């Protein structure tokens, strides 16, 4: 018998096109016999083999065709990034943008998936109070890096963009305002603080409160609440650097982190906090360093913890007075806080003058010039409280002369020298301030001058926050020595 060799020729099967699948002739077998004596058997072998493989193909081909059809359908169902173009506006946001903003039915983004099942047992209740800002911002051209209008979306629309919220809390919402944070005034600070204090005292079922806010003034509002919220329940302020309709909004993940923090029992007693980029920062130390994602920092001492995938984790806690320890009760305060001005000291500076004197002045300084020292001494003699703060807010300096003033029994000349030469200029603790003799000569003999009221020293607080603390503290006292005590406690 001669040797028989079987060759099977196949072609590649392409499932990506839509052409009907047809068997190719090169799928049929060919038989070759290298022995001439085997020629009489060739036709019979060919017929038998052809019948065998035709039967096999009749069984296999329908399976292959069905598989290709399923694969082609799955490929065509996937959105084509080229044809869809920019991402569509979420359904919750589309009504704000007008007709057609969400795109046609053919290129609209997929709807949010069903909310995952909530954990077993009752969920904590969290109230979200919306004030506007970038987190509620909307664009005329959604899905771009273009301009937007802050405070465009409602609290309900913001919440609807975070379908995971019900996993962690029963969320309620109310609209306090809907403006850019630069429009937030001290009068609104007072109203917001009163509202939060009221709801936390009346609603025993609330675990905490989240305030959505624009980032331009977020750190100021958060610090005011830190000073005036008289509850140990968590209050979290949150914002966003990208608008809700932007190419890559950070508001939803920030809001989720804020709600998780407010719902956490570990957050009780930590004071008012800011949650941005999964970082939990004490409101006392929160700073906006730049206008992009990750731009908020707690400096050297402000980071309290993180919002991890496994839960809210705290590693530090504030030790200055806050929450239920706060003595600042706004119940008897009207909508106007004492006027406090914020000024800067600089090379060649000559100080400031006012047509109408404020209650106090906070000076951002690393050291007064002689002329500045004289100017601020004159304000102190007129009853204006002067406080000095390091521009960066990071300096911790000693308070000179007891509680920020001269030693008991000091003469007026000695008082002036102590207050400006020894501790009056350099962020409240030194510098080239004017001497008592120079100050006295400016308006007569130093002996004729009344005792110089002490200057308030600010420790580890930015000048703008020192101004807020001064505004609140002046509702309690105007005595510089008592004010110094407050600044050392808060």
Beta-bridge partners for 456: 387
**Structure-token match 């005034």, residue found:** 185
Sign of CA dihedral 140, 145, 149, 151: positive
The candidate with the shortest Cα–Cα distance to 266, out of 306, 229, 302, is 306
Burial 412-429 (b: 16+ CB within 10 A, else e): bbbbbbbbbbbbbbbbbb
Three-state SS at 290: coil
Q: Long-range contacts: 83-91, Cβ < 8 Å, 24+?
A: 83/107, 84/109, 86/142, 86/143, 86/144, 87/142, 87/143, 87/247, 88/142, 88/143, 89/142, 89/143, 89/245, 90/160, 90/161, 91/160
**Structure-token match 């709801």, residue found:** 199
Sheet containing 360-364, strands listed edge to edge, beginning at the edge strand earlier in sequence:
340-344, 360-364, 385-389, 456-457
Separation of alpha carbons 218 and 182, rounded Å: 9
Q: E strands, 249-292, where? A: 272-276, 279-282, 287-288
DSSP code, position 226: H
The pair phi, psi for residue 154, each rounded to 5°, is -85, 170
CA 145 to chain centre: 19
The catalytically annotated residue of 19, 84, 106, 134 is 134
Separation of alpha carbons 271 and 283, rounded Å: 8
Active site residue 134: yes
Separation of alpha carbons 151 and 239, rounded Å: 11
Cβ partners under 8 Å of residue 207, min gap 6: 124, 125, 126, 169, 233, 234, 262, 263, 265
The candidate with the shortest Cα–Cα distance to 63, out of 27, 17, 13, is 13
Question: What are the tokens at 290?
Answer: 């730049």
The pair phi, psi for residue 343, each rounded to 5°, is -130, 170
Catalytic positions, please? Answer: 134
């Amino acid at each position: 018998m001669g040797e028989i060799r079987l060759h099977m020729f196949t072609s590649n099967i392409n499932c990506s096109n839509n052409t009907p699948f047809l068997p190719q002739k090169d799928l049929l077998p060919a038989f070759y016999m290298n022995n001439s004596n085997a020629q009489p058997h060739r036709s019979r072998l060919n017929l038998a083999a052809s019948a065998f493989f035709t039967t096999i193909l009749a069984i296999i081909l329908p399976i292959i065709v069905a598989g290709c059809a399923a694969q082609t359908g799955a490929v065509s169902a996937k959105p084509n990034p080229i044809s869809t173009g920019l991402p569509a506006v979420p359904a919750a946001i589309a009504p704000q943008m007008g007709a057609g903003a969400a795109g046609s039915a053919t290129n609209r983004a997929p709807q949010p998936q069903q909310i995952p099942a909530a954990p077993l047992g009752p969920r904590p209740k969290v109230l979200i109070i919306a004030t506007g800002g970038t987190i509620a911002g909307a664009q005329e051209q959604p899905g771009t890096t273009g301009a937007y209008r802050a405070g465009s979306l409602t609290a309900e629309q913001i919440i609807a963009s975070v379908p995971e919220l019900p996993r962690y809390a029963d969320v309620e919402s109310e609209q306090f305002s809907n403006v850019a944070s630069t429009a937030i005034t001290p009068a609104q600070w007072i109203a917001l603080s009163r509202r939060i204090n009221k709801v936390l005292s009346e609603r025993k079922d609330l675990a905490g409160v989240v305030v959505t806010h624009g980032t331009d003034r977020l750190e100021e509002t958060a610090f005011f609440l830190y000073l005036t919220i008289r509850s140990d329940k968590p209050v979290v302020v949150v914002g966003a650097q990208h608008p809700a309709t932007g190419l890559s909004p950070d508001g939803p993940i920030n809001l989720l982190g804020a709600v998780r923090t407010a719902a956490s029992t570990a957050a009780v007693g930590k004071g008012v906090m800011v949650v941005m980029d999964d970082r939990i920062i004490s409101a006392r130390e929160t700073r906006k360093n730049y206008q992009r994602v990750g731009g908020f920092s707690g400096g050297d001492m402000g980071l309290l913890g993180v919002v991890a995938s496994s839960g809210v984790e705290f590693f530090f806690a504030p030790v200055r007075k806050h929450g239920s320890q706060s003595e600042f009760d706004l119940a008897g305060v009207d909508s106007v806080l004492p006027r406090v001005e914020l000024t800067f000291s600089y090379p060649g500076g000559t100080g400031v003058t006012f047509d109408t004197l404020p209650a106090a002045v906070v000076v951002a300084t690393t050291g007064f010039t002689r002329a500045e020292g004289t100017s601020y001494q004159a304000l102190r003699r007129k009853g204006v409280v002067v406080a000095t703060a390091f521009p960066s807010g990071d300096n911790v300096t000693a308070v000179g002369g007891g509680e920020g003033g001269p030693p008991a029994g000091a003469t007026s000349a000695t008082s002036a020298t102590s207050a400006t030469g020894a501790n009056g200029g350099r962020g409240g603790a030194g510098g080239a301030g004017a001497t008592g003799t120079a100050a006295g000569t400016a308006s007569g003999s130093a002996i004729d001058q009344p005792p110089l009221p002490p200057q308030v020293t600010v420790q580890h607080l930015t000048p703008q926050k020192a101004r807020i603390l001064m505004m609140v503290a002046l509702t309690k006292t105007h005595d510089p020595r008592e004010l110094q005590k407050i600044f050392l406690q808060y």
